[in-house]
Amino acid sequence: MVSMEREELERWRRCSILHVDMDAFFVSVEQREDPSLLGRPVIVGVPAERSVVLSASYEARAYGVRSAMPMSQAHARCPQAVVVRPRHELYYQVSSELMEVFRSYTDAVEQLSVDEAFLDVSGALRRLGSPVEIARDIRATVRARLGVPASVGIAGTKFLAKIASTRSKPDGLLVIEPGEALEYLHALPVNALWGVGGKSQQQLARLGISTVADVAATPLPVLLKSFGAMGRHIHDLAWGRDPRKVTPERVDKSMSAETTFREDVRDAESLHRALLSLSHRVGQRLRSSGMSAQSVALKLRYADFGTINRSRRLDFPTDSAARLYDISRHLLAAVGPLPQAVRLVGVRAEHLEPSAGAVQLSLDRTEENQRLVERSLDEVRGKFGSAGLTPARLLKPPRPPGQDQSSL
């Protein structure tokens, strides 16, 4: 047990929220797998004209490369960058191991995404020391066990802890103690406030507001008149008010996979093949995380970038790829004749819940048989990798997909 004076203990209890954020996570994992990539401009993404950057190393960012940037633009800015195709299964495996590391320090872990989480370490102070000591140990453990870097922000609120982690990157640690919070916060530009994007930043600029200090100095009625409830939100943040607690819960509200075609398509066969592939990717992620979906959604993006989403609630939850495919195929049929060619298609499993020990069966046991086959494939992939394991229908696709993306 760590010895800590009562006064010091109370001080750190007021500053015991950590925001841990991985640095260029996908790239960091690839560099772990291939150390020759260290120190080089690296881009994770599919090397196709219509795909986008999924992750970029800090060496590539120095040339202006950013996530979600079109690959063609990224290549123009940094032609010497090494482009690595994404391996989503590997990233989610490392993410799962990462969260287990966090939970070894505290049960109060709120996962935000595949590579970041809030931790409340107030209950671990007597046992492990100050939040700074805990954060240092977390960073060292993540580096030693997983081989990837992490940045940590420490503060008394979730908002300030996230600001601290952002400003400690890459591979750093920053503490914003309560007594220093307002001074630090008010020196920041207004877009540091959660919820202030490009349009609201322009609207604030028209009011002569460019810093967080300006927001704090603006009377609340003025902000309410211009922004409604959003005005109260940014006013509270500007004064460091953020009462939200770290809430331990799964991040998996949904799981999805998307593909952007190299050429726009509109024939049913190409779309069905894509849906089948995406359904198997989502189904495998559901099973590996012990989750089932209560609804399934289809996403279509047309050639003009217009996007539609359709969803259907299921009679009972599923983690079966075959079931996901069947529902997404029916959702596509329900759209009717396509008004134009499709650029992107996606499958999303929604309203997730932990899989029950017993799964409701269809009358002819078809779905249960399919699930048994899929779980057997999961076991084989876990032992020998996924090469060569795919539905026969996908062995010779007429059009190779372009960008592949997965999200939580």
Q: Is 264 annotated as a binding residue?
A: no
pTM: 0.68
Cα–Cα distance between 274 and 252 in angstroms, integer? Answer: 23
Q: Percent of the chain scored above 70 by pLDDT?
A: 85
Class of the CATH domain delimited by 25-88:
alpha beta
User: 47-51, 138-142, 226-230, 395-399 — which one is most confidently predicted on average?
Assistant: 138-142
Q: Is 21 annotated as a binding residue?
A: yes
- pLDDT over threshold 80, residue 356: no
pLDDT at 358: 37
pLDDT at 393: 56
Going by pLDDT thresholds of 50, 70 and 90, the confidence category of residue 3 is low
Amino acid at 395: L
pLDDT at 46: 86
Q: How much is the mean pLDDT over the chain? A: 86
- pLDDT over threshold 60, residue 250: no
pLDDT at 399: 47
Question: 154: part of which helix (H) or strand (E)?
Answer: strand 150-155
pLDDT at 241: 93
State which fold the 254-407 domain adopts: Dna Ligase; domain 1 (3.30.1490)
* Domain ranges in the chain with CATH number 3.30.1490.100: 254-407
User: In angstroms, what CA-CA distances link 152 with 167, 179, 262, 358?
Assistant: 9, 19, 39, 40
Q: Which residues contact 340 (CB under 8 A, 6 or more apart)?
A: 264, 266, 302, 303, 304
Going by pLDDT thresholds of 50, 70 and 90, the confidence category of residue 357 is very low
pLDDT tens figures, 261-280: 888 998 999 999 999 999 99
Contact 43, 52 (CB under 8 A): no
- pLDDT over threshold 90, residue 327: yes
pLDDT at 300: 94
Cβ neighbours, 10 Å, residue 20: 28
Q: Which residues contact 76 (CB under 8 A, 6 or more apart)?
A: none
- pLDDT over threshold 90, residue 287: no
| Sign of the CA dihedral running 165, 166, 170, 175 | negative
Going by pLDDT thresholds of 50, 70 and 90, the confidence category of residue 364 is very low
* Domain ranges in the chain with CATH number 1.10.150.20: 187-238
pLDDT at 389: 53
- pLDDT over threshold 50, residue 363: no
Q: Is the bond leading into 170 cis (omega within 30 degrees of zero)? A: yes
The length of the chain in residues reads: 408
Going by pLDDT thresholds of 50, 70 and 90, the confidence category of residue 10 is confident
Which of 116, 258, 367, 374 is an active site residue? 116
CATH fourth-level superfamily of 187-238: 5' to 3' exonuclease, C-terminal subdomain (1.10.150.20)
pLDDT tens figures, 132-172: 999 999 999 999 999 999 999 999 999 999 999 999 999 99
Q: Lowest mean pLDDT of 107-116, 204-213, 352-361, name the range.
A: 352-361
Exposed, middle or buried: residue 78 (CB in 10 Å: 0-12, 13-18, 19+)? buried
Going by pLDDT thresholds of 50, 70 and 90, the confidence category of residue 51 is confident
Q: What is the mean pLDDT of residues 107-127?
A: 92
Instruction: Please say if 116 is a catalytic residue.
Output: yes
Output b/e per residue, 92-123; b: 16+ Cβ within 10 A: bebbeebbebbeebbebbbbeebbbbbbbbbe
* Domain ranges in the chain with CATH number 3.40.1170.60: 25-88
